[in-house]
Structure 1
């Protein structure tokens, strides 16, 4: 499953939601997704050049082309898109679950995740690789705020990653207290993560830290 949040929103227009099956996803759709993603997602931080032989530059936008969309996220016919949009396209935005501040609080991401969950029969587990508090709340709402089972996560997370076969997380290292593996980057034991997957995706987290500071 792959969930796109593709929105063109004004203050008054209602939002419509559509599920697009793999066979109906065209390069034209993905090109628009790519363009909107490249203009809105985020920026590389100071670690990006160090881990990319200076190919990625600090402060430059994170970009995702059509080819990479296919390779990383639409790699078999079980994947699909969930789209949210309005009739007015005066202000197009595209995010991968993370909703820009102008559109937060409208339940868009939670609705997209609910649609994705309900589109699949016999869902065993549902998760989201994100550090953004609003994304975490969205998946909690999509799952009807059922209690988080940390033991289930510890016992099955690695197997779920492998089964899902998502290229950029399926073989990555899991870190955190539930996996009995502390992060070497955290000096203070009180700051150790509970559940973290090491994606080496070095982006600026200014917005995330600001939101966490206000919680």
Structure 2
């Protein structure tokens, strides 16, 4: 059975300030929880229906109780709280992806999965980018958050210290399909509505873009889709 105090704690973690205050975040679903259990993340507590996660110290809950603590419209069979690890800035050489004020949880979750797929170990985010421990972000990563290190920092300061060439995604940039792209570089993606901020733009050495082939009046690509295309081109060389 889940207590009132536990329900209050879990539901409060929908908000960033309570996640930071308690240093905890929520993971839902058997597969996702297994991914975190098999990683370096530390389990705080686990709530599951009868017969689920019998190999773990579990608080058994009913479907009704699970519905009270779940952030999903259709609750899955288990929910867990994990400890938020301390941020580590250990950037090695290689390709880096940088996000400037990406606000949509689904976009960040997809970009984390993108990094996982392409073997990008570090994702550098502006302090205004959505929190990676937001329940919607965690759900969208499908476990990839366990394999990608996210760092939140001041991008102007960070980019000023880098020796790698800095590329940025812009509507008026050079056609990426005609560009000679280095294997090791930094790629900056901007905000969904406003693109890369003016301050961060000053740190970018080369602007690149994805050309539009159709006659559609669509203004731009979704940032996660654009990120996938651009990262693929960098990896392709």
Q: Which has the higher contact order (CA 8 A, sep 6+)?
A: 1
Structure with greater strand percent: 2
| Greater Rg over alpha carbons, structure | 2
TM over 0.5: no
